[in-house]
Structures are given as structure tokens and as C-alpha cells.
Structure 1
Amino acid sequence: MINKHKFDILLSKPIVEMDPWTFNHAVAAVFPDMMKRSVPGYRYLLSMIGRLANRYVENSTQVYDLGCSTGAVTIEIEKNIHGRGCKIIAVDNSEAMIQCCRIDTQTFCSTETKIEIIEDDLQNIEIYNASLVVLNFTLQFYPREARQNLLNAIWSGLNPYGMLVLSEKFSFSDIKIDHILSDMHYDFKRMNGYSDLEIYQKRCMLDQVMLTESLSTHIQRLKSAGFQHNTLWFQYFNFGSILALKPGPP
């Protein structure tokens, strides 16, 4: 059974009462198209995460895709590490996303790498024997008060020389810069076929649940968890990705 993703027209008509954004079945059905047209550099970032996995995932270790949505990161990693005796653990708390993830991974992944797909909150996941953990636009939807504990758990579960990829939409304390990058993002969405109505309605719905933070806040939190080796390795407008490493023995 192939999951036939649809073109995103969810917000093309006016909504009288806009509820907070949820990752329901309607969103899951159009999510790949939504991400491609909404997140600058998304497909390139996916491919580069795959290349990182190819270079740095160790044999017989575990890889965690936390907040896996429909499984795009899991699929990209699996393409690059099969034959190494690894296990990929993909986790999301949305039933709709998990259903799509199961279908897509069965369709696009080989049987050489074991993939475990879990519907649960991230705080309930035990991380161990990990050489790579990915939070790809996940932390921004996670409660702020729980973010440090999650990063601490990731640090503890990573093997020496293990890697964390943390991708997020950033906010900026410089209001002028924040406005410029936000405007460029909206232009990007217009270029990909979204109307001003769609952009406005989605922003209103997301503002209630997507709590973005500055790059410096993310870096400080990573350092507090133990990730002294970290850098911004990708940025496109107000979207970016941080690479963080756990050191090995002295």
C-alpha cells in the first residue's frame, strides 16, 4: 500500500474560527508537500542529514528520529546506512503521522535495517547505544520547560563521538533582522504557490503552538546538556540546523 501524499490546499479558504495547529490526518496527508513548499532548503537538509549518517553512524548502533512525522528523515538515513546492522527508532506523538510513517517506510526502505516506529511522547523514550539522534523541526513544538531534560537524555544516550542534529525555525532578538527574514520566508512560500490568506491563517494557528527560540538559546541549552562541540551548519532565512557532538574519551 503506497501512501499517496496530496497537494496542500488545507488553508486555501477562509476559516472563521482558527483553532491551534494540530498534526491531524488532514495535515499528515499533505505534510511532505507542505514541508517542501514551506521550509526553505528542506529537501537539501534531508539529503545532507543522510550524508552525515553515511559518514558517522557506527555499525550495530541505534539511530533516533525524534518527532519523525511521516518518516522523511528515517527514509533518508536508512538509504545511507543499510548493511551496518543498525536500528532506526522513529518516534512521534501524532497517530496520523505515525500511520503515514509506517506506510512510507515500508514503501521506500529496504529490509536490511530494522526500523521501529513508536507512537509516544519523547519523554517516554529511552535513548541508548545511539550514534545519531535527529530532532528535525521538533523541539519548537515541545514544551519549553521540558526541552533541557530532553537534550540531557539525548546526551546520556549517545555513545562517545555520537552526533545530534537539531533543526529549528529561529527567532531573532534584533527586530529588524527578524522582520527581514520573516518577510523573505513569506516570499518563499508565495513563490511556492501559497496565497497571502494561506500564509496568514497558518501563521495564526502556528503562533499558538510553535514556540521558537534564538540560536543563542539553543546553543546555551546544548552546552548545558554537555554538547561543548556544536555549530550552526545550515541556515536558510530563519530556518537552520545545529550539529552537536559528544566527545570521546580523553
Structure 2
Amino acid sequence: MTEDFQQNTRDRLYAGMEAAPGDFAFDDSVARVFPDMISRSVPCYCDLVKLMAVLARRFLHPDARCFDLGCSLGAVSAALLGQYRHLGLRVVAVDNSQAMIDRLNQRLAEEVAGGRLQARCEDLTEVDTSGASLLILNLTLQFIAPEQRLALLARLRERLQPGGGLLLAEKVQCANPDAEHLLAEAHAEFKRANGYSELEISRKRAALERVMRLDAPEVHAERLRAAGFTQVVPWFQCLNFMAWAAWA
């Protein structure tokens, strides 16, 4: 790999008076600091990425094709290619942010040049995933309009190869108010411990409110089944972040 995912510019986007107002967007300013932002904002993020690569083995075969949907800078794509190069794995990394795709192509230039990785800037609700053995949605579905989520998952399920599966990770919102308060406060404390100020935490929360719509864990599991996945297995939780494996 061309660059360690954790090494990048320090995230100070919401620290000063120059912080941009409005909704959160995956633009070039975010892409520039994204590795630092995600590692300081999502507990156990690096472990989550590594475990996704471990769980992926269940669905891979020689020359398998994987789609990393909402790939950002390609952390999961890089982990998969690093671990399963011997299988001849090919990864299609898709994001609707051109800034993310441009930086992914720079960071993983060797994989792109070698034909193991193809990066596309596309709308995730329209991408054709035909031929996929593995689908990855790592903190992605929460940015898709709620009314589009079931249709997206159903289409992904329909185009999966026999024996294929989906790995889904999401920030969740608990239906129980006490549980939600506990986890939300712990998450805020996690960010404080990683050097974010109260101003930064508050500003980023406000920027995300209208673009990141969270579901309860039960909603995710029920929706996966409604989309046609008969097996839905939760395999990760760290504070208010969870992950599932799903297959037919």
C-alpha cells in the first residue's frame, strides 16, 4: 500500500472561526483530513476495518469480485487486497465524492495500476454490482435517504453471486432513551479524549444532523431480512457502532 491510512493531516475543520457553516459534505477539505477524522471519531475504527477483512474470507473464492460501496479513501479495499492478494481478488471501490476518489487513486496507486482496484465516482443507488461475491457498506447506509435503503439492499442482494454476502457497519441510535443517552455521551467523551474540543464536537454534530440519519439496530436487522438476506449475524459493537454479516 502506498500510505498508512492513519497518517494524514490533523482534523481542525470545526475548530476555528473559519469553520464552514451548513451540512457536512465529503468535499476536498474533508478528504484531506479524513483518516485523522475517522480514527479520532469512530471508536475501534482500525479494528473494524481489519475485522471486515477477516469476515470477508467467508464469501471469497479465487478471482472473486468485491464492491466497496461508500469507500471513502479505500481503507477496507486496501485491507482486503492486502490480505487476499493470493486469491486474485479484484475490488471495485465506489463513492459519490470525486474528492474521495481522487485521493484514493493517489493513496492506492499501486493497486490501481496493477488492475486489482478500480475506483469509480458513482451514485451508490445506481451502481451495477453484478458479479459480486462480497459487498461492503462501511458507515455508508446512514448517508443514504431512509426511503431508499430497502430498495438499495434488495437490489444488492439480487445481484450477489451464489454464496456471496454483505458486510454492513453503521452508527446506530438505540430505541431505548437511557441506552441511547449512555452511548451518545460515551461517544462524545471518546472524541474529547482524542483531542476534540466541545466546540468541534458541537459544530460537527450540527453539520451531520441532516445528512446522517441513524436507525436502531433492530431496524437494520429487519431491513436486511426484508431485502432477502436469510442469515443476519451481528458481529461487532463498540459504543454506538455496530456491524452485521448477511447472506442468503
**What is the TM-score normalised by the length of structure 1?**
0.92
Report matched runs for 1:96-245 at 5 Å: 96-106=99-109, 109=111, 114-245=116-247
Kept in 2, the 8 Å contact 1:83–1:112? The answer is no
Residue identity in the other structure for 1:185 = H
Q: Distance in 2 between matches of 1:15 and 1:209?
A: 21
Kept in 2, the 8 Å contact 1:132–1:158? The answer is yes
Q: Distance in 2 between matches of 1:36 and 1:196?
A: 18
Residue identity in the other structure for 2:35 = P
Kept in 2, the 8 Å contact 1:83–1:113? The answer is no
Tell me the equivalent position of 1:20.
23
Kept in 2, the 8 Å contact 1:85–1:113? The answer is no
**What is the TM-score normalised by the length of structure 2?**
0.93
Deviations for 1:175-207, whole angstroms, at most 9, x for unmatched residues? 111011000000100111111110000000000
Structure 2, unaligned stretches of length 5 or more? Answer: none
Counterparts in 2 of 1:215 and 1:50: CA distance versus 1, 3 Å: same
Q: Distance in 1 between matches of 2:36 and 2:222?
A: 33
Kindly state the Cα deviation for residue 238 of structure 1 after the two structures are TM-superposed.
0.5
Structure 1, unaligned stretches of length 5 or more? Answer: none
Kindly state the Cα deviation for residue 5 of structure 1 after the two structures are TM-superposed.
2.4
Residue identity in the other structure for 2:175 = S
Residue identity in the other structure for 2:189 = D
Residue identity in the other structure for 2:153 = L
Residue identity in the other structure for 1:42 = Y
Residue identity in the other structure for 1:139 = L
Kindly state the Cα deviation for residue 211 of structure 1 after the two structures are TM-superposed.
0.3
Moved more, 47-56 or 182-191: 47-56
Tell me the equivalent position of 2:35.
32
Q: Among residues 54, 62, 66, which one is paired with 1:63 in the alignment? A: 66
Which secondary structure state, in structure 2, belongs to the residue aligned with residue 123 of structure 1?
coil
Q: Distance in 1 between matches of 2:236 and 2:126?
A: 29
1:53 and 2:38 equivalent?
Answer: no
Which secondary structure state, in structure 1, belongs to the residue aligned with residue 13 of structure 2?
coil
Deviations for 1:145-165, whole angstroms, at most 9, x for unmatched residues? 111111011111212221111
Q: Distance in 1 between matches of 2:242 and 2:183?
A: 12
Deviations for 1:55-84, whole angstroms, at most 9, x for unmatched residues? 531112210000000111110111011132
Tell me the equivalent position of 1:91.
94
Kept in 1, the 8 Å contact 2:112–2:118? The answer is no
Give the root-mean-square deviation of aligned CA atoms: 1.8
Which secondary structure state, in structure 2, belongs to the residue aligned with residue 200 of structure 1?
helix
Deviations for 1:99-137, whole angstroms, at most 9, x for unmatched residues? 111111115x48666211100101221112211100000
Residue identity in the other structure for 1:68 = C
Counterparts in 2 of 1:17 and 1:8: CA distance versus 1, 3 Å: closer
Residue identity in the other structure for 2:90 = K
Deviations for 1:213-241, whole angstroms, at most 9, x for unmatched residues? 01111111100111120121000011111
Which secondary structure state, in structure 1, belongs to the residue aligned with residue 22 of structure 2?
coil
Q: Distance in 1 between matches of 2:19 and 2:192?
A: 22
